Chains A and B, each alone.
Chain A
Amino acid sequence: TQLLEQSPQFLSIQEGENLTVYCNSSSVFSSLQWYRQEPGEGPVLLVTVVTGGEVKKLKRLTFQFGDARKDSSLHITAAQPGDTGLYLCAGANSNYQLIWGAGTKLIIKP
């Protein structure tokens, strides 16, 4: 069974701090997607990484795909209250099915 483990499960920090969340697996994925989910809404895609070692930036968010395409990280610089939400990673396996992580619940306090 393919698993994607996300850590930490929960993170509460002050506005302005930096943070990193992780998405790890023993399996190789052809691509990895990051989503953010806000209360009362469905997950919304933030980014897709495809190539091992790839780094993508979305304003203050930096996403990296591991060289072996088994893991990924999301780094947020100078977190803002608007970054609050549930961050989910999902990896596409060899059958092109998405394997979902359990998510990291992030709270940014003003």
Chain B
Amino acid sequence: DAGVIQSPRHEVTEMGQEVTLRCKPISGHDYLFWYRQTMMRGLELLIYFNNNVPIDDSGMPEDRFSAKMPNASFSTLKIQPSEPRDSAVYFCASSWSLGQPQHFGDGTRLSIL
């Protein structure tokens, strides 16, 4: 079975540029989560969707961050404009129900110079 697929795996860009991260969840999973992981703060939930609808975006750090899920098989996380402090590994995960085990992608390692 195909797992959660994220792209790109690595992204290096300059401050001020727009960054778009992509995720394809596991088919049949109704929940999709975006996380950010850093050494200092660990794994932080940014936003999650249920049936393509954003449910809780309280973890989104600033208005520079936005996420969409236009259909059940695709989601994006966008940062515009990007800043060096946004450098982190961003994970997408999906699950069939809230509170149930989550399946993670391999992440996007983002470096903002």
Q: Which residues of A approach B to under 8 Å, CB–CB? A: 30-31, 33, 40-45, 48, 88, 92, 95-98, 100-103
Contacts and interface: CB of A to CB of B under 8 A. Distances in A.
B66 interface: no
B16 to A, nearest CB: 28
Main secondary structure of the interface of A (DSSP, over half): loop
23 contacts: A30-B99, A40-B106, A40-B107, A41-B107, A42-B91, A42-B93, A42-B104, A43-B43, A43-B102, A44-B104, A45-B101, A45-B102, A45-B103, A48-B101, A92-B99, A95-B98, A96-B99, A97-B98, A98-B45, A98-B102, A101-B42, A102-B42, A103-B43
B101 A33 contact: yes
Interface in B29-64: 42-43, 45, 56
Interface of B: 4, 42-43, 45, 56, 91, 93, 97-99, 101-107
Q: Which of B43, B103, B104 has the most A CB atoms < 10 Å from its CB?
A: B43
Contacts of A92: 99
Contacts of B43: 43, 88, 100, 103
A42 B4 contact: yes
B78 to A, nearest CB: 20
A96 B43 CA distance: 18
Residue of A31, A43, A48, A88 with most chain B CB atoms under a 10 A cut-off: A43
Contacts of A42: 4, 91, 93, 104-107
B112 to A, nearest CB: 19
